[in-house]
Structure formats: structure tokens, C-alpha cells
Amino acid sequence: FEAKWDHASTLKKVIDAVKDLIGDTSWDCTNTGMSLQSMDSSHVALVHVLLKSEGFESYRCDRNVSMGISLNSMAKVLKCAGNDDSVTLRHESESSVVNFAFESHKEERVSEFELKLMNIDTEHLGIPETEYDSIIKMPSADLRRTCADLSQFGDSVTISCAKSDVRFETSGDIGTGNVRLSARGSSDKPETEIAIEMINPVSLTFALKYLNFFTKAAPLSDTVKLCMSNNHPLCVEFPMPEVGYIRYYLAPKIDE
């Protein structure tokens, strides 16, 4: 297996966006790309990352391989790469390590690191295809700000989606807060658009702590998609055009 990115910045951001939620995980490498799927330790959230082979500078995977890696260790290794350095990952069949090589574009500095792989029991679990009742596309910075603002007032947020607006509400010891975002089109700047596709109205409550973890992916994508169905996990997708995506799933709070 050998994969090369032209710039380390994307991989650094991907790892930063998921490492606080999941610790040790397996990267599954096939000829179509690298992916990981992992639940957080409390089984409330699920992370799915896909990095497509066409998003790499060069990519080769002769035999499918599952590499067990501590994401904190991977973040440490990637700290040694400059944002504009190229990154090459190499793993040979049956080897217990993965190699990282960072090269500056003027080629005057090359650094190499070897990370020990871990044995991780991988369960063969899958994410079902779901038809959602409401899908909201919005700027990722808006979601990040909304979750950060409401976190000052409460631990959880109720997201209610109607035909032309979406409302985020919270309440806590010091008071209450809500943010309403109305659908708006923008043909010249699609990344600032707020689009709502509503088949059925949805209202769900989630722990803000997790949503704040998810919005760490905002630097990777100008837009985010919230897909919701009543009593069903929320899907928060950060698309990375031509590269892949990060999808987070979060179980709703259900009244006992």
C-alpha cells in the first residue's frame, strides 16, 4: 500500500477532526481509497471517514489491508509535517508498521517516521442507507457558531426543521437561547446557501458536546449537511469535493 498527498494540510485536518472522538481505529485500505468507521467509547456517536483514491496525488493498494492505528499517535506524527509538505504513507503486507515520509516541495528536507500498528478487533458493522425526513445544507461556520453559542446556555440542543427555516433551541440554569436560520439561495456563492429539503417536519434533541466535536471538521468543508429523521441518528456530513467526506452520526436524546 502506498498513498501520497501533495499537501499534508488535508490529512492533518481530517485527523484533528476525529481524534478527540475516537481513539484507536482501523484504516481500511482498498483500491478505491482509505476509510474508517468507528464509534466513540460510549456508543453514542459514530464517525465515518472516506478518502477516495482519486483525491490522492498517487495511490496504490495491491491487496486490501486494515491498519490499526492510534489516532493520537498519527496526529503526533503529522505534527512533524509542514502544511505544504507532501505526505507518503507506505505499508508492506504482513508488516507491523506504517511509514510516513514528509517532503518539502523544494525537496531540501525529507523526514521519515515509522508508526507501530495495533491489533484492533474489527467488528463487521455497516451503516444502513437511510431516507431522511429533512435535509439541511448550510455553511459549516454557521453550524459551528450556533453550537458554540448555544453551549454557553445548555447541554443539549433541539433542532426543529420546518419548510423554510431550521431552529436550534437550548435551555439551562442561566436561561434559554435559540437560533433560527432561514433558507436563502445564493447563485454566485453556493457555499453561503441555506437549503432545506423537508419531506416531514422533524424535531430532535442532541447533546451539544458531540456536535461541538463534529464541528472540528468545519475547516475541511465550507458546507455541512444535516440529515434528520424522527427517532433516528442524525447524520452530519462534511463533504470534501474530489477528496471524500467525513460523516458523523449521533443518537438523539429520547424521552423516557
Partner 1 sequence: AIFQKVMDDFYVAI
Nearest-approach distance from CB 129 to partner 1, in angstroms: 12
Nearest-approach distance from CB 135 to partner 1, in angstroms: 18
Q: Which residue, 239 or 252, is less far from partner 1 as judged by CB?
A: 252
Q: Which residue, 33 or 233, is less far from partner 1 as judged by CB?
A: 233
Residues 145-184 binding partner 1 (CB under 8 A) are: none
Which one of the spans 41-49, 87-95, 143-151, 185-193 is the region binding partner 1 (CB under 8 A)? 41-49
Whether the Cβ atoms of residue 1 and residue 27 lie closer than 8 Å to each other = no
The answer to whether residue 108 forms part of the interface with partner 1 (CB under 8 A) is no
The C-alpha cell that represents 126 in the structure block: 455497516
Q: Which amino acid is at 78?
A: L
Nearest-approach distance from CB 59 to partner 1, in angstroms: 25
Residue 70: burial class (beta carbons within 10 Å; 0-12, 13-18, 19+): middle
Q: Which residue, 233 or 244, is less far from partner 1 as judged by CB?
A: 233
Which one of the spans 15-23, 59-67, 124-132, 137-145 is the region binding partner 1 (CB under 8 A)? 124-132
Q: Which amino acid is at 19?
A: K
Please, which residues have CB within 8 angstroms of residue 206's CB and are 6 or more apart in sequence?
Answer: 156, 157, 159, 234, 250, 252, 253
The answer to whether residue 42 forms part of the interface with partner 1 (CB under 8 A) is yes
* Sign (positive or negative) of CA dihedral 166, 208, 240, 132: negative
DSSP string, 17-52: HHTTT-SEEEEEEETTEEEEEEE-TTSSEEEEEEEE
Place of cell 474530489: 242
Residues 182-241 binding partner 1 (CB under 8 A) are: 207, 231-233
The answer to whether residue 119 forms part of the interface with partner 1 (CB under 8 A) is no
> Applying CB under 8 A, which residues contact partner 1?
39, 42-46, 123-128, 207, 231-233, 249, 251-254, 256
